[in-house]
Structure 1
Amino acid sequence: MCSCVTMATIARATTFSLPRLCTASDCQTVSSLEWPPLEAIFHWIPFAGCLFWLGKAGRGRHTQALSLLECFMFRRPDWLASLFNRAPYVAKPAARHHGPAGYRNLYPFTLPSLGSLLHWKLAQWWRARPDHRPEMVPVTGGDPAALRANCLRSSVTWLGHASSFVQLAGQNVLIDPVLSSRASPFRHLGPKRQVPLPIDLADLPRIDLVLLTHLHYDHLDFPTLKRLAQQSGGAPDFVVPLGVARAVRAAGVPAERLVELDWWHAVQRGALRVLLTPAHHWSNRGPWGDLNKALWGGYLLEGAGLKIWYPGDTGYQAELFHEIGLHIGPVDFALLPIGAYEPRKVMRAQHVNPDEAVRIFKHVAARKAWAVHWGTFILTDEPIQQPMAELAMALREQEVSPADFMLPAIGETIWL
């Protein structure tokens, strides 16, 4: 914001009761090379068919073919990791969330089966299309001039979906910036932005720090990261969960600007402290056997006498958020996801719905909160405007004031 601190000034720290960190002698690298089992080959025959169809499909079927392709990317054999060597992983037996072949959640988590995913995607073809009304999503152009002039006050600006701009303790911080027209690896395919981008990156103040929660395309966007890496005066510093730095470096971010964190580990940047908190989710980037080879999480930002928390993508586990609340609560301001939750059979373990978001609000004893992760991209089955009505209902049922858990406009700024 008003000054630039290089990554050399960031000091690593641990907090609370952490498991013993493994040493070089008791860590094991998971990188054995094996030929694919026969069932894995049969698993990939439909995947190859989707690739073929994607090339041959008529204009109206590209999105459907891509959706099927996503199913096989989601549930693919892990032996590709060793064949392509795209996602090295080091197991740390002392940490409960470090599994033998990838990171894992603290509470039971089962990925949807390939069959349930295919049933969901294929059903979208013959089912009536949801009545998406993006014109109902509130959007404002914001006040980038005020943000550029600000050096003293703390503020949060919602840029749409999971992307937020935070000014705290003398730092300009971007969280999960996805400022492109699509949340996708493809320029002309995949989830398209349904509402205008409220503030372009060029209109924001110079970015000091970028926080990324995990690898998914609606949270980590290569075109946006490339722009940040090339910003005037040098790339900002990046804080990411374990295993995510590899992808960020591929976007052109210098290695010396990157620091990786495990859950409950923190970094200090000037007067701002950033802590990585656990989440109930999963990770992958592409069909390379990288399933859960990179960690996921949320961030607590502490500075200027304030605590701002964003949990990242997460399913609801009462025990997990009770524990998080004991460690970090009360929170002054929370950015809580409320969208991308239908069908619940597929999404329950990985994305909270509005009712669960309000429960999390209570777990961390948040003073104020904004509803985010909705109204920007069509990722799941609920109409894009539906989270608004469901949040209002959840607030009434749980006796939380809408003045405390607020529904912001995309582009809106709150001064804390």
Structure 2
Amino acid sequence: MFRKLLPHWPLPRYRADAARSHHGVDGYQNLYPFKQPRFADLLRWNWQRWRMPAVAHRLQDIRRQAPDAAALAANRSRPSYTWIGHASGFIQLAGLNLLLDPVWSARASPLQWAGPRRLLPPALTLDELPAIDLVMITHNHYDHLDFHAVRQLARQTSGAPQFVVPLGVAPTLLRAGVPAGHIHQLDWWESFKLGGVEAVLTPAQHWSKRWVFGDRNRALWGGFAVRGDGLQLWYPGDTGYHPELFALVSKRIGPLDLALLPIGAYQPRWFLQAQHIDPAEAVQIFRIMKPRRALAVHWGTFALTDEALHQPPLDLAAELEKYGIAPADFAVPALGETFWLRPR
């Protein structure tokens, strides 16, 4: 009964590689100094939230656009990115259909009757998407790894897609029914190739945990650089800001056509600064990485933190104006909007 209630229970078995500096004694660690959130910090934050006024989310201020599902299903030649909501994105590249951090559940939580609630629905249902070839999951937090979405993808009629994930994430996917041969675990800087697409796991300043005890940092986290059709896309995953990290990533992956930069889930800063960038830091990453274009993601879906759901684009606009960056160069997509990408 317990396993039926919590099917995401299986814990990763951690095996350190002594030759790799980010493999700690008890779990993975970041490349740069990092303040690991403590249970006492969580209690302090929730005490503050209980005392503060209720946050008013102006959902009407979040632009939405109905995707052309038929056009996406018919497309196998034009590279594209469609924002599904939060960190979830549908990518078409080199004739393949890719999903990034697919989350379709009503709550970003192990339980569907408690935890952060989805305030806006996914732009497309999983059934409306064409057959998925490759799924990329950046880490095991519930707003990025949705057990129920993974289970549905594993059962798609065309057969389970390939899954590329950081080290230690496989047990949850196996429990969801993904065949072992379809799961490819990567360490930082390792890559997986499928057809004309290559996915490289890049480092991030974050942490991992999926249960109350026993699994903290025993699965790795990261972002993905995705290459194909003469293009390179990059999503950093959940990450704190460290300029040396992004200079390193930029040097290693090279020219960037599209950066998917998180702008949400950042208040209060005393608790979240180490693990989530805010809009100001997203602009600094844009200035370091110098992509041809950036899109703002990781906002507008789940009320995970203290800022209003509509607030991140307003903060982003102020930062872009400060540095003279055109809004078209670092755009805020409508929920469901598709961007057609041009090769260099």
Describe the superposition over 1:75-130 as per-residue Cα deviations: whole angstroms up to 9, x where unpaired: xxxxxxxxx98331111111011111100000011123333321210121121112
State whether residues 334 and 370 of structure 1, in contact with CA within 8 Å, keep that contact through their aligned partners in structure 2.
Answer: yes
Q: Out of 275, 279, 285, which is 2:204 matched to?
A: 279
State whether residues 139 and 409 of structure 1, in contact with CA within 8 Å, keep that contact through their aligned partners in structure 2.
Answer: yes
Partner of 2:298: 373
SS class of match (2:163): strand
Q: One-letter code of the match for 1:233?
A: S
Partner of 2:340: 415
Partner of 1:107: 32
- 2:48 aligned with 1:127, yes or no? no
CA distance in 2 between partners of 1:134 and 1:87 (Å) = 38
Q: One-letter code of the match for 1:191?
A: P
Partner of 1:165: 90
Q: CA deviation at 1:398?
A: 2.0
Partner of 2:15: 90
- 2:324 aligned with 1:399, yes or no? yes
State whether residues 90 and 97 of structure 2, in contact with CA within 8 Å, keep that contact through their aligned partners in structure 1.
Answer: yes
* TM-score normalised by the chain length of structure 2: 0.95
Q: Out of 283, 287, 301, which is 2:226 matched to?
A: 301
Instruction: Please list every run of 5 or more consecutive structure 2 residues that lacks an aligned counterpart in the other structure.
Output: 1-8
Runs of 4+ in structure 1 displaced over 4 angstroms? none
Give 1:222-237 correspondences, 5 Å limit.
222-237=147-162
- After alignment, is 310-319 or 393-402 more displaced? 393-402
CA distance in 2 between partners of 1:136 and 1:103 (Å) = 39
Q: CA deviation at 1:140?
A: 1.4
- 2:136 aligned with 1:185, yes or no? no
Partner of 1:336: 261
State whether residues 284 and 292 of structure 1, in contact with CA within 8 Å, keep that contact through their aligned partners in structure 2.
Answer: yes
Q: Out of 233, 241, 259, which is 2:184 matched to?
A: 259
State whether residues 10 and 172 of structure 2, in contact with CA within 8 Å, keep that contact through their aligned partners in structure 1.
Answer: no
SS class of match (2:45): helix
Describe the superposition over 1:109-156 as per-residue Cα deviations: whole angstroms up to 9, x where unpaired: 112333332121012112111222122111112111110010110000
- 2:310 aligned with 1:385, yes or no? yes
State whether residues 55 and 306 of structure 2, in contact with CA within 8 Å, keep that contact through their aligned partners in structure 1.
Answer: yes
Partner of 2:3: none
CA distance in 1 between partners of 2:41 and 2:216 (Å) = 18
Q: CA deviation at 1:191?
A: 1.2
Q: Out of 160, 164, 175, which is 2:100 matched to?
A: 175
Q: Out of 140, 144, 154, which is 2:69 matched to?
A: 144
SS class of match (1:346): helix
Q: CA deviation at 1:326?
A: 1.1
Q: Out of 229, 241, 250, which is 1:316 matched to?
A: 241
CA distance in 1 between partners of 2:91 and 2:118 (Å) = 22
CA distance in 2 between partners of 1:214 and 1:220 (Å) = 7
Q: CA deviation at 1:211?
A: 0.2
- 2:144 aligned with 1:219, yes or no? yes
CA distance in 2 between partners of 1:300 and 1:201 (Å) = 24
State whether residues 35 and 274 of structure 2, in contact with CA within 8 Å, keep that contact through their aligned partners in structure 1.
Answer: yes
SS class of match (1:274): strand
CA distance in 1 between partners of 2:327 and 2:30 (Å) = 32
* TM-score normalised by the chain length of structure 1: 0.79
State whether residues 298 and 309 of structure 1, in contact with CA within 8 Å, keep that contact through their aligned partners in structure 2.
Answer: yes
Q: One-letter code of the match for 2:42?
A: L
SS class of match (1:392): helix
CA distance in 1 between partners of 2:136 and 2:181 (Å) = 15
Q: Out of 292, 296, 318, which is 2:217 matched to?
A: 292
CA distance in 2 between partners of 1:165 and 1:233 (Å) = 17
Q: One-letter code of the match for 1:206?
A: A
Q: One-letter code of the match for 2:89?
A: S
CA distance in 2 between partners of 1:112 and 1:204 (Å) = 37
Q: One-letter code of the match for 1:210?
A: V
State whether residues 274 and 300 of structure 1, in contact with CA within 8 Å, keep that contact through their aligned partners in structure 2.
Answer: yes
CA distance in 2 between partners of 1:152 and 1:410 (Å) = 23
Aligned residues: 333
State whether residues 329 and 365 of structure 1, in contact with CA within 8 Å, keep that contact through their aligned partners in structure 2.
Answer: no
Change (3 A) 1:205 1:316: same
Give 1:18-57 correspondences, 5 Å limit.
none
Change (3 A) 1:143 1:234: same
SS class of match (2:267): coil
- After alignment, is 209-218 or 321-330 more displaced? 321-330
State, as a whole percentage, how many aligned pairs show the same letter. Answer: 53
- 2:129 aligned with 1:204, yes or no? yes
CA distance in 2 between partners of 1:225 and 1:105 (Å) = 27
Q: One-letter code of the match for 1:109?
A: F
State whether residues 216 and 284 of structure 1, in contact with CA within 8 Å, keep that contact through their aligned partners in structure 2.
Answer: yes
State whether residues 139 and 411 of structure 1, in contact with CA within 8 Å, keep that contact through their aligned partners in structure 2.
Answer: yes
State whether residues 189 and 201 of structure 2, in contact with CA within 8 Å, keep that contact through their aligned partners in structure 1.
Answer: yes
CA distance in 2 between partners of 1:168 and 1:198 (Å) = 20
State whether residues 328 and 364 of structure 1, in contact with CA within 8 Å, keep that contact through their aligned partners in structure 2.
Answer: no
CA distance in 2 between partners of 1:135 and 1:185 (Å) = 28
